[in-house]
Amino acid sequence: MKKTLGGIVFLFLAVLTIGAAFAPAGLRLPLAQKADVRARADGWLKSGGNLFNQNYSPLAQINRQSVAGLKAVWRARLDGSGMNSKYSGEAQPVIHEGVIYIVTGADDVFAISVKTGKTLWKYQANLDETITTVCCGWTSRGLALGEGKIYVGQLDGRLVALDEKSGKPTWSIQAERWQDGYPITAAPLYFDGLVIVGFAGGENGTRGRVKAYDAKDGHLVWTFYTIPGPGEIGHDTWPQDNDAWKHGGATVWQTPAVDPELGLIYFTTGNPGPDFNGRVRAGNNLFSVSMLALEAKTGKYRWHFQQVHHDLWDYDSPNPVILFDVKVNGRVRKAAAEASKTGWVYILDRITGKPLLGIDEKPVPQEPRQLTSATQPFPRGDAFVPHHVDIAPEDFPLVNQGRIFTPFWTEGVVAKPAPRGGANWPPSSYDPATNYFYVCGTDSTNLFKAGELDQVPPPEGQRYLGGVFGGAPIPGTGIFAALDMKTNRLVWQQRWKEPCYSGSVTTAGGLVFVGRNDGRLTALNSATGKRVWEFQTGAGVNAPVSVFEYETEQYIVAYSAGNLFAGSPRGDSIWLFSLKGTVEQATAP
C-alpha cells in the first residue's frame, strides 16, 4: 500500500471513532495496530496528541465521577537529567506499544515501560555546556515518532533519529549551527515520510526557517524561510535599502499541525528582529507574528495571516496551531486557531487563511521614531487576558491607559500584555464535542523600552534586541480560560495567584488536565473550570500530560521537572496514574 493512501485510511478510521483526527495519518503503524487505534486509542503518538494538535483524548474511563479515585501507579526517575537551574521540563510524553518516551531539558531521551516504570533505554545528548545561543531556558518540547524511530531536535542544532527499540542513533545530522543562533526547542513533526522541524533563535539576529528531512536517512527535502528574500511574496514588507530581512527573526517555537486531506501544515512565527526597535525595519515585516500554511510535501507557500504588524512588543506566537471543524452560520467550516501573546485567539479558515468570525483592522497610537503600523488586527470576540492597566503601578505614569499596542521609545511605557503575558509556549487544547478551546495565559504588566540600539546587526548568533526586556513592575497572575470557537467568546475564566505555565489536555470524560508551578497536577471540570482533583508531584508540572489506554486501562502520564521561566521547583520524575493506582502523593516542594 502506498504511504499516502495508508495515511488517509488511518485518518478515516480515527475520524469514525471520535469525530476528529485523533491518530496521525502518516505514522505508518503496523496494520494490526491501526485496528487497535480505531477501537482503543492505546497510544499518544505525537506532541499535541493528533495531527490536528488538539491535545484531546476520546477516553472516558477517567471522568468527572471517577477522577476522585485517580492515584499514581508508579514514579520513575530520569537520573537527574535536566535538573539544574538553567533547564526546563516542557516535553509532552509520547506513548507507543506500552512504552513511554520522554526528552529532558538536556535533550536526553528515555524509554520507560508502562507496566513496570523501568527505564528500557537511555540516549544521552552530551550537549556542549558552552552553548550560548539558547533563549529562555535549556529545554525540549518533545519528540516525534515514525517508521520505527524516535526523532529529537537538539539545542546544538542537531536532528537525531533513534531506533525505537534500542535508543541507538540510526542517523544524526547538523541541521543548523548553534553558533549561528539556531537551536531546536520544538518537538519535530513526523508526517508521511518526512521529519519537519522549526528552528528557534529569534533574539539572535537570525532568519527564521522550517526544514523537512527524509525520515529514512535525514537528507534535506525542502526549506521554507519565514522571512522572504528578494523576489518572494512578502519581501516588499521589509526595507529595500538595507539587509534587515536577513536578520528578521520570525522563528518557530512549536510543532506544526497537519491536515492530511488538504496536504498542508500550519504553524505560527515569532517576533521580527530586533525585538523592540522598529526603526531599522520599516514595513509590516512578513512573515513575522503570522500563521502560515505550507504544502507538506514541498514546503511551498499556500497562505499567511499576520497577527501583529511591525511588532514592537515581542508579541510572537509560540503557541501551537490547533485544527478543527466547526459550524459557523449554519455551515461546517475547516478552522485553524492559535492563542497568542496578544491575549486573543485567532480563528481562520484553514483552506483560505481568511478570518472565520471576523478580524478587524483598527487604528492604533503612533510613534514616528518606531515607524509604527497605522492599524493592527483585532479579532472579534473576547480576549482571555486584560488589554489595559486599570491602575498605574507606583512610579510608572500611564500612557494610553497601558493598552495593547501602545508604542514606546527611550522613555519607557507600561502596558499589557507583557512579553511573558497572553499565551506563551504551553500548548492549548480543544474538545471537538463542545468546540471549547482551553488556553493557559498570564496577565502581566511590562515596562516596554527601546532606543538607539542595534542599528547595525551583530555577528551571527549574538543578541539582537533593539531595547531591553523591561520586566514587570508588579507580579503577573495566571489566567486559565475556555472559549467557544463558534463565537470566540469566553465560556469561563479563572485567575491563578501564580503565572500559568503548563499546557492542557482535555478528554471525553469531561475533564481538563493542567499542571501547576507548585508541583500539583490538577483536573478541572471542562464545562465550568471547577477543580475536581489534584495530586502533588514534588516539582513543577510545566508540560502537558498524555492520555492513553493500555490493556483496557486508561492512564495519565505526567512529566514533573520544573521550569526556568515559571521559577518552579526542579525534578526528574515521570508519574503514571490510573484508577487502580495505589501510590500516594509526593511531599510538596
The H-or-E segment that residue 58 falls in is none
Question: What whole-number distance in Å separates Cα of residue 524 and Cα of residue 494?
Answer: 11
Checking if the pLDDT of 144 tops 80, the result is: yes
The pLDDT assigned to 202 comes to 78
Which set of grid coordinates corresponds to residue 135? 533563549
Checking if the pLDDT of 203 tops 70, the result is: yes
Question: What whole-number distance in Å separates Cα of residue 210 and Cα of residue 197?
Answer: 6
Cis, peptide link before residue 565, omega less than 30° from 0:
no
Question: What whole-number distance in Å separates Cα of residue 576 and Cα of residue 535?
Answer: 12
Instruction: Identify the band that residue 204 occupies on the pLDDT scale cut at 50, 70 and 90.
Output: confident
Cβ neighbors of 122 (< 8 A, separation 6 or more) are 79, 108, 109, 110, 111, 167
**pLDDT tens digit sequence for 357-410:** 999 999 999 999 999 999 999 999 999 999 999 999 999 989 999 999 999 998
Instruction: Identify the band that residue 26 occupies on the pLDDT scale cut at 50, 70 and 90.
Output: very low
The pLDDT assigned to 9 comes to 35
The H-or-E segment that residue 8 falls in is helix 3-18
Cα 92–125–132 angle (5° rounding)? 90
The pLDDT assigned to 454 comes to 57
Active site residues: 314
Angle between helices 31-40 and 3-18 (to 10 degrees): 20
Cα 435–436–437 angle (5° rounding)? 120
DSSP sequence for 453-498 = --SSPPSTTS---SEEE---SS--EEEEEEEETTTTEEEEEEEESS
The torsion defined by the Cα of 565, 404, 479 and 498, in degrees rounded to 10, comes to 40
Phi, psi of 141 (to 5 degrees): -100, 10
Which set of grid coordinates corresponds to residue 317? 506566537
CA distances from 371 to 246, 282, 509 (A): 19, 6, 50
Instruction: Return the domain boundaries, the chain.
Output: 3-553+564-578
Question: What whole-number distance in Å separates Cα of residue 141 and Cα of residue 154?
Answer: 10
**pLDDT tens digit sequence for 521-557:** 999 999 999 999 999 999 999 999 999 999 999 999 9
Phi, psi of 336 (to 5 degrees): -130, 130
**pLDDT tens digit sequence for 63-119:** 999 999 999 999 999 999 999 999 999 999 999 999 999 999 999 999 999 999 999
Checking if the pLDDT of 426 tops 70, the result is: yes
The pLDDT assigned to 450 comes to 86
Question: What whole-number distance in Å separates Cα of residue 527 and Cα of residue 521?
Answer: 18
Segment 424-437 mean pLDDT:
97
Of the listed ranges 42-46, 266-270, 373-377, 579-583, the one predicted with least confidence:
42-46
CA distances from 468 to 14, 242, 446, 451, 458 (A): 48, 23, 11, 9, 16
Checking if the pLDDT of 452 tops 80, the result is: no
Checking if the pLDDT of 470 tops 90, the result is: no
Checking if the pLDDT of 12 tops 90, the result is: no
Topology (CATH) of 3-553+564-578: Methanol Dehydrogenase; Chain A (2.140.10)
pTM > 0.85: yes
Segment 241-255 mean pLDDT:
94
Segment 339-351 mean pLDDT:
98
Which set of grid coordinates corresponds to residue 440? 493557559
The pLDDT assigned to 18 comes to 40
Instruction: Identify the band that residue 453 occupies on the pLDDT scale cut at 50, 70 and 90.
Output: low
Segment 242-270 mean pLDDT:
96
CA distances from 30 to 27, 95, 267, 308, 521 (A): 9, 15, 29, 44, 34
The pLDDT assigned to 287 comes to 98
Name the average pLDDT for the chain. Answer: 91
State the CB neighbour count (10 A cutoff) for residue 380: 15
Checking if the pLDDT of 5 tops 50, the result is: no
Give the closest residue to 216 by CA, choosing from 190, 197, 198.
190
Segment 336-353 mean pLDDT:
98
In this predicted model, which residue has the larger pLDDT, 23 or 555? 555
Segment 438-467 mean pLDDT:
83
Checking if the pLDDT of 438 tops 80, the result is: yes
Which set of grid coordinates corresponds to residue 409? 521609545
Question: What whole-number distance in Å separates Cα of residue 314 and Cα of residue 274?
Answer: 9
The pLDDT assigned to 248 comes to 94
CA distances from 67 to 524, 542, 547 (A): 10, 21, 14
The pLDDT assigned to 461 comes to 76
Segment 301-312 mean pLDDT:
98
Checking if the pLDDT of 257 tops 60, the result is: yes
In this predicted model, which residue has the larger pLDDT, 16 or 460? 460
The pLDDT assigned to 284 comes to 98
